[in-house]
């Protein structure tokens, strides 16, 4: 595992551990972020276009998708179990609100099964860290976005080494202790949260990567209180420095 890739054996093990978090996912996330996760999800919703077709990459059990109001939403995840958890949860909320049903698609960021230029916005929350080839995944996101459209990514990156050290302590001690209690075992799947965090890069690493794959107007900054980073980037408008992905 490094800042760009995860080898296939480790990724398979990571996926099993992510699936094992499903029953306690929202509870531990709320605790781990001192309740801030709700605000971060709201921030991403605000940054997505109010109309058009939106893709969430790595939807997990549907924690973000259930509160997306109105827009035409597609949720992608490589785990059939995650999708089976998310679909009834999200579509029950959508039906209650009178929104169109979400389309759930099994797939990976690195091989998005969608046509070029087919989304008005793409977002990914707490998933980018788990992509086994982050550069390939971002290139795919660029390909499926319409010219001028935006990707928003949230994940806990480090600002620098010292910040990374405090982040590691927070996850290992604070989140680890709570996960041990909730999961009733010291061998809980949240250990993988710490592991992927340690190997994940800095905010700047992924600003650079977004620029290198062809995004423009790239921004990345820590979100209060510094536990997560939000990146925003646009696909170039047609005829304005558009790359081979346009």
User: What residue ranges bind ligand SAM (CB under 6 A)?
Assistant: 15, 18, 57-60, 63-64, 77-79, 82, 108-110, 125-127, 130-132
Number of Cβ within a 10 Å radius of residue 193: 25
Least distance to ligand SAM from the beta carbon of 165, Å?
Answer: 23
Least distance to ligand SAM from the beta carbon of 238, Å?
Answer: 27
Least distance to ligand SAM from the beta carbon of 162, Å?
Answer: 25
Least distance to ligand SAM from the beta carbon of 58, Å?
Answer: 3
Minimum CB distance to ligand SAM smaller for 77 or for 232: 77
d(CA 2, CA 209): 14
d(CA 19, CA 218): 32
* Strand (E) or helix (H) holding 45: helix 37-47
Minimum CB distance to ligand SAM smaller for 109 or for 210: 109
Strands 53-57 and 72-77: what pairing?
parallel
Minimum CB distance to ligand SAM smaller for 99 or for 110: 110
Minimum CB distance to ligand SAM smaller for 59 or for 73: 59
Minimum CB distance to ligand SAM smaller for 82 or for 246: 82
What is the layout of strands, in order, in the sheet containing 53-57?
103-106, 72-77, 53-57, 119-125, 145-155, 228-234, 216-223
Give yes or no for a contact between 103 and 74, defined as CB atoms under 8 angstroms apart: yes
d(CA 109, CA 104): 14
Least distance to ligand SAM from the beta carbon of 18, Å?
Answer: 5
Q: How far is CA 53 from each of CA 21, 22, 95, 145, rounded to the nearest angstrom?
A: 29, 27, 18, 10
Least distance to ligand SAM from the beta carbon of 241, Å?
Answer: 27
Tokens representing 198 are: 């340690």
Q: How far is CA 160 from each of CA 37, 148, 163, 180, 205, rounded to the nearest angstrom?
A: 22, 31, 5, 28, 11
Q: Which residues pair with 106 in a beta bridge?
A: 77
Least distance to ligand SAM from the beta carbon of 44, Å?
Answer: 8
């Amino acid at each position: 595992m490094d800042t760009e890739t995860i080898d296939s054996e480790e990724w398979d093990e990571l996926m099993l551990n992510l699936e094992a978090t499903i029953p306690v996912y929202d509870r531990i996330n709320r605790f781990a972020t001192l309740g801030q996760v709700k605000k971060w999800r709201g921030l991403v919703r605000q940054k997505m276009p109010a109309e058009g077709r939106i893709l969430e990459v790595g939807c997990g059990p549907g924690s973000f998708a259930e509160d997306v109001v109105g827009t035409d939403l597609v949720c992608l995840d490589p785990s059939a179990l995650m999708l089976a958890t998310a679909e009834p949860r999200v579509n029950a909320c959508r039906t209650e609100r009178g929104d169109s049903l979400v389309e759930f698609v099994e797939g990976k960021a690195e091989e998005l099964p969608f046509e070029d230029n087919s989304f008005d916005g793409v977002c990914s929350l707490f998933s980018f860290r788990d992509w086994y080839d982050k550069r390939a995944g971002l290139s795919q996101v660029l390909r499926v976005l319409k010219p001028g459209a935006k990707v928003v990514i949230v994940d806990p990156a480090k600002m620098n080494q010292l910040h990374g050290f405090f982040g590691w302590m927070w996850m290992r001690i604070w989140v680890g202790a709570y996960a041990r209690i909730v999961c009733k075992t010291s061998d809980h799947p949240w250990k993988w949260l710490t592991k992927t965090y340690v190997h994940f890069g800095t905010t700047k690493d992924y600003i650079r990567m977004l620029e290198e794959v062809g995004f423009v107007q790239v921004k990345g900054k820590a979100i209060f209180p510094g536990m997560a980073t939000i990146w925003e980037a646009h696909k170039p408008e047609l005829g304005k420095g558009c790359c081979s992905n346009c």
